Amino acid sequence: MLDDEVAGRCMDRQAQVAAPLVVAGAQRGVVLVPEHLASDLHFGSTKHQNGALRHFAQAAQDMGVEHVLLSGDVTAGYKMYAGQEMELYAYGSDEQVNATCERLPEIEGLHWYLLGGNHDASHYNHGGTNVVRRICNQRDDCTYLGFAQQDIPLAPGVLARLWHPRGGVPYAVSYRAQKGAEATIREWLLDEQWSEEERARIVLLQWGHVHVKGLFWYGNMMLLGPGCFEAQTDYETERALYPDIGAAVLEVTMTDNGFISDLNVLSWKRYKPVADDFRPVKHADLLDCEEVEPLFSLGGKV
């Protein structure tokens, strides 16, 4: 059951996944089950949009989604920019791991594949702890994908690459994805030249980090940035950056030789940011209480 109030906000290299998420048949035109693509949740941040995340996860599951591919930054991180501590509700690795485990939507039949990003890596850089692996060790519905980049088998011989780049947000939304696609194609061509075995083909590149949405073809590869679930921070405000809150659900049709022949966007939701959406309950509910009658009489008056 979807939350009607949240629905009103909608503006419409170390880990391995051994088996394909979806097994495609040999015939042309096989359709892969819908996939939920998301990024940059930033649990621990007061700008985290948990109501939007829960709403979209449930909507995706209602559409038949079984797998959620997350391209980095599960947590808010530690000392990512000056003053970040003023925008956190969970401080340090332990609190952010607990916040994620408690509030990442847990829906029957929905499995999360978590790639670590630069915010997650900050916990390791400062304290030597791998927060993404710790989260996956505590949640049976989560699979650990390492950090920065990982290739996920969608079907035999067909891969999706999850990528969490570094650097600022370029003026052209497509720039970061194009650079990633160029490097991916160059890598594949070199492997084809020197490898004696046929290499699996990357047909989808999903990027995170920049908090903006994008979807376009680059040759025969689909490039997609799903957006994020963190509202505008002070860091972004000072740099005139505005995030796209939301995610995507795709249905892909494959040819018999492993290329995308059709891509159907089942959902491409955008959400209006809401203050205090990181809280387990709405802020107003915290201040509301039942009426209390006077406990004592004064001068015979009740």
Going through 15-71 in order, the beta strands assigned E by DSSP cover 30-31, 35-38, 67-71
What is 192-232 written as a DSSP string? Answer: HHH-SSPPPEEEEEEE-SS--EEEEEETTEEEEEE-BSB--
pLDDT at site 27: 34
The torsion angle over the Cα atoms of residues 195, 198, 199 and 200, rounded to 10 degrees, is -170
Q: Set out the domains of the chain in order of their start, with CATH numbers.
A: 4-21+34-271 (3.60.21.10)
The tokens describing 105, both together, are 């939507």
The answer for residues whose C-beta is within 8 angstroms of residue 297's C-beta and 6 or more apart is none
> Coil, helix or strand for 156?
coil
Nearest to 43 by CA among 280, 241, 243, 229: 229
Q: For residues 101 and 293, what is the distance between their CA atoms, to the nearest angstrom?
A: 40
Q: What is the pLDDT of residue 112?
A: 94
Report pLDDT for 33.
55
Mean pLDDT by 10 residues, the chain (302 residues): 52 52 42 72 95 91 90 94 92 95 94 95 94 96 94 86 89 88 88 75 91 90 92 90 91 82 85 88 50 71 56
